[in-house]
Amino acid sequence: MTMSETPYILVADDQAMMRDGIVLMLKDAWPDCICKSAHDYLSVVNLLENQSPEETFSLVILDLRMPGMRGVESVAHITKLANNAPVVVCTALEDPSLVSRLMHCGIFKAVSKASGAEELLIQVRDALASSMKSKLSTKDSHEPAPTNKYDDNGSAGLTNRQREILKFLQTGKPNKVIATQLGISLGTTKCHLHNLYAVMQVQNRAEAIIKSRDWLL
């Protein structure tokens, strides 16, 4: 997966409301993402074991307490099946020793459910960036470098949401104003900006504005 490709995310939680809420949050931040849902340990294992080479998960978001889960032991097995896709574990328990054991078995991050959606979104963004780097590093070093379709063709590769945000950047709107006018949270806005910069291959809003100066949005 590259930042311009579609994130393929497994969301596992036995509470339908929590599971659906995470999927909605992901769809808002990454409109093109594909989400698969699981409600217990066996359904997670089944989805991971039946991945195809053409469609592997970019990220696993995992509830620690689901039917069939046996704590750290089950998390370690899921992490192994994830095949280098980062695993973000959500837990209601704030036990430093538990977090340490989870990290030791190879997860990307443990997130407390009490920390809220924005913290989870930040960790998801970082995990997807890590997944991208991992997959890029496995590519054949002799593979021709992809052409940059943003140099001459403008906004052709951007999502509709990314175009909206780029328009706000060009008019000098700060993040809080962008969030308010789009009806999304500040954290979601920052994730959109992060993804936009990655797709445009720029480091900040100033570079994005300069690069898109003559684009038709």
pLDDT for 142 equals: 44
Q: What percent of the chain has pLDDT over 90?
A: 38
pLDDT for 206 equals: 83
Q: Say if residue 121 is in the same domain as residue 164.
A: no
pLDDT for 213 equals: 78
Is 113 domain-assigned? yes
Is 204 domain-assigned? yes
DSSP secondary structure string for all residues of 179-207: HHHHT--HHHHHHHHHHHHHHHT-SSHHH
pLDDT for 185 equals: 86
Is 152 domain-assigned? no
Segment 108-150, tens digit of pLDDT: 999 988 888 888 988 898 888 887 776 655 544 445 544 444 4
Averaged pLDDT for residues 48-67: 90
Of 61, 4, 56, 57, which Cα lies nearest the Cα of 30? Answer: 4
Averaged pLDDT for residues 158-181: 88
What burial letters (b/e) apply to 28-62, b meaning 16+ CB within 10 Å? bbbeebebbbbbbbebbbebbeebeeeebbbbbbb
Q: Say if residue 93 is in the same domain as residue 169.
A: no
pLDDT for 136 equals: 57
* Residue 79 banded pLDDT, cuts 50, 70, 90: very high
Q: Which domain holds residue 183?
A: 160-211
Segment 25-55, tens digit of pLDDT: 999 888 889 999 999 999 999 999 998 877 8
Q: Say if residue 132 is in the same domain as residue 168.
A: no
CB 190 within 8 A of CB 202: no
pLDDT for 88 equals: 96
